[in-house]
Structure 1
């Protein structure tokens, strides 16, 4: 306050009267299992709310269990050019606050086991976090973007945008592939391969305890991500399972669907035949699709076997191509074979057109003479007049 006035002095006295009159008040923190495991934050911001500077005001509140432990409402230091930008800056502030609170609780021997969930009601800000590509419109807030990405190693939006695992397990194979890709991107594949294990003993060093606490946090984050990708019935059933046990039980329940799917995919691959006159591009697309389906199910078809199966599926018009390929003992990859088949298809179509022309062309007969001739070439006798 470089120039305090009477109004400021009156405000200070009012604050002091409030503090003196509420000495018996305080925050009530209820001790319960959920209090030590649930840290939830809510953020919101207006856009260009200040009529003088057009700066936005952002606020947040953080709950530990059912108790409010931290809150803030502050005008942002810079002007935001969109509502998403204003919301994102507020999210960055609340993420920093939650990071500090988690460290404080850990030092107080009350570590937060579950991942902290930050609620934001701006769809554009959520998409900005989900999109890893930065462009000119986000360069000026790139520090906030990287900070939030570092604090959130798992992007839950990748799961929310995908189809959830159905209660009957009909899409288990595709869902499990998405989980694998998702965890590989965050170097968290080990969470599904082995259980967390027992906590370290009290006599262990702080370094060992910190490593275990970090692993426990990662396991909790993966558990939340997987639960978000399940339908409500499965969520209720596996809510208290760790990710390793959860995935193991899901495999036990729904692996039969994967076996049936594998059988159908192999059946389509080995029975697929190209019809005469159809497009080689469509046929190769179907064959590679069946092979990709088998690969996703864990069955890798060797290149030589795949090439032989493609050659066996060709119609009789490609007989010369198949014979030439085998006689020269070619060992091509699928893209190279596809190029050769495209060239052969053009030549086969040309030959087919020539044959069609030869069959449909008609020649005009010579004009008949008035007289009749015998088979030997002599003129037949004219019948006598009656």
Structure 2
């Protein structure tokens, strides 16, 4: 394991374990770590079928690497959860764990996504407030929405930020 892998794994170690309340943040951090280890395919692709007895040595090696990576990802997922969640998911492979958690926490995630988008779209600069901190706040909302899978292109993001400014700034817009 490289030093960069160890430091990226600390992302999920520094935050609290997944505990039924922080799924979105936990999953976002987990994907960063898994991507850095080049094992994102384990949770994004369907589970590979068992090899046929007549498989080539190359196919066997590829399949063994998949099994090894899947074991590592299952351990990583389980180790980043509370013990209660570990017990509930210890019999599942990594892909099934993610599928199950998505199903369990989709409604909560949907509500958090709604709250984040509502805050973003309602945000208006206060009279007398400085533009810089307001724009940074708006960018934070955009980044938060990205964690929910809502991607806006740069022009739409800029339009929404400009819309949040008061009439005082109309000459600059």
Q: Measure the CA separation in 1 of the matches of 2:10 and 2:153.
A: 36
TM-score (norm 1): 0.42
The reply to whether residue 251 of structure 1 matches residue 102 of structure 2 is yes
Q: After the TM superposition, which residues 5-20 of structure 1 pair with which residues of structure 2 at under 5 Å, given as runs?
A: none
Over the residues paired in the alignment, what is the CA RMSD in angstroms? 2.2
Pick the aligned partner of 1:224 from 44, 65, 75: 75
Which residue number in structure 2 is paired with residue 163 of structure 1? 16
Cα deviation for residue 157 of structure 1 reads: 4.5
Please report how far the alpha carbon of residue 203 of structure 1 lies from its aligned counterpart in structure 2 after TM superposition. Answer: 2.3
Provide the rounded CA distance (Å) in 2 between the counterparts of 1:293 and 1:278.
22
Structure 1: runs of 5+ lacking an equivalent? 1-128, 133-148, 323-386
Shift of 1:297: 0.9
Greater RCO between the two (CA within 8 Å, min separation 6)? 2
Match for 2:166 among 297, 315, 318? 315
Q: 2:46 touches 2:95 (CA, 8 Å); kept in 1?
A: yes
Report which of the two has the higher share of helix: 2
User: Would the aligned equivalents of 1:195 and 1:245 in 2 still touch at CA under 8 Å?
Assistant: no
CA distance in 1, matches of 2:172, 2:53: 73
Q: Name the SS for the 2:54 alignment partner.
A: coil
SS in 2 for 1:284: helix
Deviation at 1:206, TM superposition (A): 2.7
Using the TM superposition, give the Cα deviation of residue 266 of structure 1 relative to its aligned residue in structure 2, in angstroms: 0.9
Show the counterpart of 1:260. 111
Which of 1 and 2 has greater Rg? 1
Task: Verify: 1:206 aligned to 2:57, yes or no.
Answer: yes
Tell me the TM-score normalised to structure 2 length: 0.90
Shift of 1:258: 1.2
**Residue ranges of structure 2 left out of the alignment (5+ in a row):** none
Structure ranking higher in strand proportion? 1
Residues 225-246 of structure 1, C-alpha deviations (whole Å, 9 max, x = no match): 0000111110000001000111
Length, aligned pairs only: 173
Q: Does 1:269 align with 2:148?
A: no
Who is 2:136 aligned against? 285
For residue 200 of structure 1, report the CA deviation from its aligned partner: 1.3
